[in-house]
Structure formats: structure tokens, C-alpha cells
Structure 1
Amino acid sequence: MKKIITRIVAVSVLAIASQQLSAQKVVVNREVETTNDGKMLLGHQLKDQFTKEPYADWYVKEFNEYALDQKAITELKKSKLNSYNIIVFMGTWCEDSHRDFPRLMRILDELKYPDSRLTIIAVNRKKESPTGDEVRYNVHKVPTIIVEKYGKEIGRIIEMPTTGYIERDLVEILGKDDRSVIKEIFKKEN
């Protein structure tokens, strides 16, 4: 019995040690200097990083000037967007990101969306991030806005909203979430 307990403890210690060694540290708010594009954000970012120069030039103007679709905002509140996770892939070099990323942030600000549910990942011109998240999420264009519930993707907006308004596209995505995710998670095995 003592040998079995010793082996279990040894295996447990090895498993924990290997987990700690393989755990990847994520650098937040990484900024790089490029030859062609000057300063560029790369990898996981916090939203306040965009209010700093040189990003504030495009971010603040678009954030402040964007006129929200209040009907869609009301729908997003009813649909409880704040209970979903949002992952955004964007490029500080990308004109579409310059337009739609600040608009998304304005929408989330209006909804008092929790920062803890938001992941912002800046990519380079090859659409790559330091942690390879673009591969995991199959991202090929920016901006890409992904909506998740319980770790499962509900929908995404790629490059530009199909309705012309991010908040309207988000309403459509949440409208499609007919609890199918919950059903899938708790489905019975036959």
C-alpha cells in the first residue's frame, strides 16, 4: 500500500511540474518597432493601450464620433451580451481595424461590458500573434470579432459587419444562440 501511495505522489508531482514548465506566459501590451509601419502593437492588449500615441490618433476619434444604433444596443442588453466572451483580432496597421475596433469598444463601453470577458489580440501584417492564437481561432482577416459562450464559438464578424453595423451583427449572432451550446455541453450519450 505504501508503494502505491508513493507512486501516486511521485506521478502527481511530475504531472504538476510538467504543467508548470509548459505553461506559457502571455506578455500583455507588447509594442514593437517596425521598419515600414513604425510602432505596432502585437499580441494580447488591454483596451487602454489604444488611448496612447500613436494609436490614439485613429482610436479616440472613431470611438468618440461613432453613432450607436440604440435599438441594437437595447437588444444586446436584453440578450445579455455581457455573459458572452469576446475575442478580437486586430491590427494597428489595418484601416478596417482603425474603423471597426474603436466602434466595437464604444459599443462595449455603452453596455458596460466586463473587461474580464474581453480578449484583444493584435497581429502583424501576416496576421500572426506571438502566442499563435490566430491558428487556434482560424483567423485570416482582421478585424475578426469572435463571440463565445462556455468556450464554444457562437459566431464571428470577419473584416467588416455584414449589416454595416457591428451592434446589429452582434444582435444577429446572439439571436442564433438558441441554447444549442448548452444542449451540446449537456447532451446525453446514448
Structure 2
Amino acid sequence: MRTWIGLLLVGLLLVGCARKKEGIVTDERGEKIALGAITQEQLLKEFPPFKKSYSAYSPDSAAVDSLRNWEQDVKVLIILGTWCPDSRREVGRFLRFLDEAKNPHIQVELIGVDHSKRDARGIAAKYNIERVPTFIVLCGGQEVGRIVERPRETLERDFLKILKKISQLRAA
């Protein structure tokens, strides 16, 4: 009986240790990274390069006005690496754009990944993330579009094009 209890405890210990941590952690390189869900406030406070890109960016005012008038619920899932130069540049800018629009119909979820593009809950794997940052636009739980690594034109224009696609689908 003691043998079974001992094996059970060892098994539970191994399962618990195999689980990745979530939050702000130190990776295998000794670097502080965000792993899993992180709030905008945590990102901007704990990772200065994101705060710097957020503060320095001036979004296109016409795009901000367009976004301010958007009336359908949309979720933007942002998969990022706090260690990644592209994430450091683009995510802060995108958050500034959204904050200036102050649109309650647009919700953001930030998910940090490690250098292998993995997170504790497997969200990056679910969405087949190969590059960061990846901005995934969801409407009604369905992916409508994404911006991968850097915008083709500008973050504002690329995002508004995805929203236009939602409008067209809704009108059809």
C-alpha cells in the first residue's frame, strides 16, 4: 500500500514539475520574459521597450477616428515575445492605436511566448504561431485575419482592412 502511495506522490510531483509556469518568469537564458496571459499594464510596466514604443508612437488620426466608430465586437489575440525586437516595436504601437480610439467593442488578449514560440496553455500552438508578434483578429470566435511580424502598410491600415472584411462578411 505504501508503495502505491509513494508512486502516486512521485507521479503527481512529476506532472506538476512538467507544467510550464505562466506569468513573468525567468527563461533558460536567465532573461525575464512574459509567458502566457499578461495584461497591458504588466507589459508596459515590466518591459520598458514596450512602454517606449507605446509612448513614442503617434497613430494616424483618421485611422483612430475610423476605429472609434467601429460598432461590432472584435477580439484581438496578440501573441508576442517580450524578448523579440519586432514585438517590442509593433505591440506597443498597436496598443497605443487602440487606446487612442477608446472603443469598447475591441478587446485585447496578450499572450507571451518563449523563444520556441510556446506558452503554458498551448494557445500559440492552437493558432500555429511561427513568428511573433502575431495579431489575430477574431469575430464571433472565428479568425478573420492576422498581421504577422510587421504590417504590410501600417498597423492602422492593415487592422482597418481586416475590420472592413468583417463588415463585408456581415453585409453578405
| TM-score of the superposed pair, with normalisation by structure 1 | 0.73
Contact 2:21 2:120 (8 Å CA) reproduced? no
Which residue identity is paired with 2:70?
S
Instruction: Give the number of the structure whose alpha-carbon radius of gyration is greater.
Output: 1
Shift of 1:29: 6.4
2:164 is aligned to: 175
Structure 1: tracts of 5 or more residues without a match = 1-26, 184-190
Which residue identity is paired with 1:44?
A
Q: For residues 126 and 74 of structure 1, do their structure 2 counterparts lie closer, same or farther at Cα, with a shift above 3 Å needed?
A: same
1:33 is aligned to: 26
2:113 is aligned to: 123
Within 5 A, what are the aligned runs for 1:88-167?
88-114=78-104, 117-163=107-153, 165-167=154-156
Shift of 1:31: 1.5
Distance in structure 1 (CA, Å) of the matches to 2:82 and 2:30: 9
2:68 is aligned to: 77
| TM-score of the superposed pair, with normalisation by structure 2 | 0.80
Runs of 4+ in 1 over 2 A off after TM superposition: 34-37, 77-81, 113-117, 178-183
CA deviation profile, 1:69-114 (whole Å, cap 9, x unmatched): 1111122223336x21110000000000000010111011112244
Contact 2:76 2:106 (8 Å CA) reproduced? no
RMSD in angstroms over aligned alpha carbons? 2.4
2:44 is aligned to: 51
State the percentage of identical aligned residues.
33
Distance in structure 2 (CA, Å) of the matches to 1:116 and 1:155: 14
How many residues are paired up?
153
- DSSP 3-state at the match of 1:127: coil
